[in-house]
Structure 1
Amino acid sequence: MNPATPFTSESDNISVLLQAFERGGSFFLMGHIDPDGDCLGALAGLSNLLAGAGGDNEIIVYEEIPKKFELAFSGLKTGVSLYDEDIPLEDCDALIALDCSDIDRLKPARDRLERIREQSGRPQLINIDHHEDNSHFGNINLVVPSAAATGEIILDLAEKAGLEIDFSAARALALAILADTGFFRYSNTSRRVIEKVLRLMDEGVDLYEINRSLYASHRPGVIQLLGRALTSLRTAAGGKIAYLKLRNIDYQLTGTGPEDREGFVNYARDIDGVEVGLIFSEEEEGIKVSFRSNEYLRVNDIAGKFGGGGHPRAAGCLLDCDLDKAVETIIAEVEKHV
């Protein structure tokens, strides 16, 4: 396996990455497990950009694309495949991992990918991400923590490479940016980001269409699930912490799945006087914990203590215990910092 390419500046990263794209070949594009709008929008956007430039590529996902993110894939020029052990990872020239802070985020493909790369030295692994705790696991790493979204990085790459940004690519990248900035409501919103979305609007992107897709396309069961989550609301640390809980039975009774709880944690964070909101979700792999903070608490540092990570204001981790124990453990740790 080739060592990670050393870089001295972000411009070096971009230069080497653009050279890899210019050489052509075949690419597999993969994101992280439990993909969000930024991850999926960046995948669809980059796929269309590469296809428009004549690049052979295919997107690989681990689960069906959630309905609210399907808009990003409308007009996709290439295919999307569900991952299985028969996908010939060794046949592509490069695998591009998007929005993954660590190679573990490529599960369940991680172990097989590492084994193939140790045996054959291919595919080259390209890591494009905006998490500040990224482990630089690729041969080529473009990690830009100052970016609001991985979709923003893809847009910058396209512009630096002189690639044509058609309507489908523009819409996918706009969805990625808008999803990770909460439609310009989160603290990672800046004038720079707004101006980039305005440029995408020049390609015909309709923000109302994206807003409807992200926030106004819920099934009745999702609203019922939200009601069950809100009923579980509790506070701690004199109201500086608020948290929600979802158990397996909540998903079963509403006909929903863990992917449907995205955004629920914001209801806890948005309570007056709260610094950090959390949601604890009982899932097959364990208890998933999502953190969101408002002003000062770096929740990625707390999540990191439990094997997770993320951004200073948005992070997550997975605990191997029952739900009540997870709540007790995490809340006790958060209380030390608020």
Structure 2
Amino acid sequence: MPAEFPVARPRRLRRTPALRRMVAQTRLAPADLVLPMFVKEGLGEPSPIPSMPGVVQHTRESLRKAAHEAVEAGVGGLILFGVPAVKDGTGSGADAPDGVVQTALRDLSADLGDATVIMSDLCLDEFTDHGHCGILTPAGEIDNDATLERYASIALAQASAGAAVVAPSGMMDGQVGAIRSALDGAGYHDVAILAYSAKYSSAYYGPFRDAAECAPRFGDRSTHQQDPANADESLREVLLDLDEGADMVMVKPAGPYLDVVRRVRDTVQVPVAAYQVSGEYAMIEAAAANGWLDRDRTIMESLVAIRRAGADIVLTYWAAEVARALAR
């Protein structure tokens, strides 16, 4: 039988900061963190994103500077999102050799080499004039299979520009298989795929759509992103992506879906990522600005919770700030 009070006193291990650190089950390290970064074509100076205080759309040069600072802080990786100057129905800027993401990838690859993991989001919504994640049929619906051809082309463009990891986020059926086949066929066997396998149709993405300028012109993305009511479906999506060649899988958003993070972690034997999305960031920043929350403690608690749920990798807009704090 386990001991009972007064013999059992769990508080003994909580008495001092040193004791609490020693027995902590969950640890957060800079290398666990990935910093999402936005780069916009044609900007003369960084442009603040009002709904995401402290986050900006970068110029080509400010992106390089901020990337250097993040790597010096010890972050595990960077993931790039591009905002092109011109958008069209097929998202032609997404795979253009001189497109905004490809240019940034070449810059960062030359600047940073193997000092960090350079990732690129792979989707069409930032590049299409309609704001959806794929090619549209005449009826205005997403053509899944035609979209796969575009994703394969984007993957090749990003790999050629220096991406170590491509991260397909469109939630199209078969997207990982199409991308893996294209990469392998072109000799990019070493480029890894981080699949947005369990990406929910979430209200928490609002500020991101300001940052990436990709709000849909009509409708929403519920036909391809998952229903927040469903959890079993996430495991099906994860296993399908692994069968198709994904090297890592992601749950997005993170905080509202910690149960899904845990179920995925318990199911698979590959690294599991979770994306602390723009709405999670914005809520904490807004509450802290009003004096309702202790900002620094809340940030750390939110990230530890994601790690405790089972995520090996956390994508967060606080990555560089938190990495510096952890190093102190």
| Pairwise TM-score range, normalised by the shorter structure | under 0.3
Higher relative contact order (CA 8 A, sep 6+): 2
What TM-score do you get using the length of structure 1 for normalisation?
Answer: 0.24
What TM-score do you get using the length of structure 2 for normalisation?
Answer: 0.24
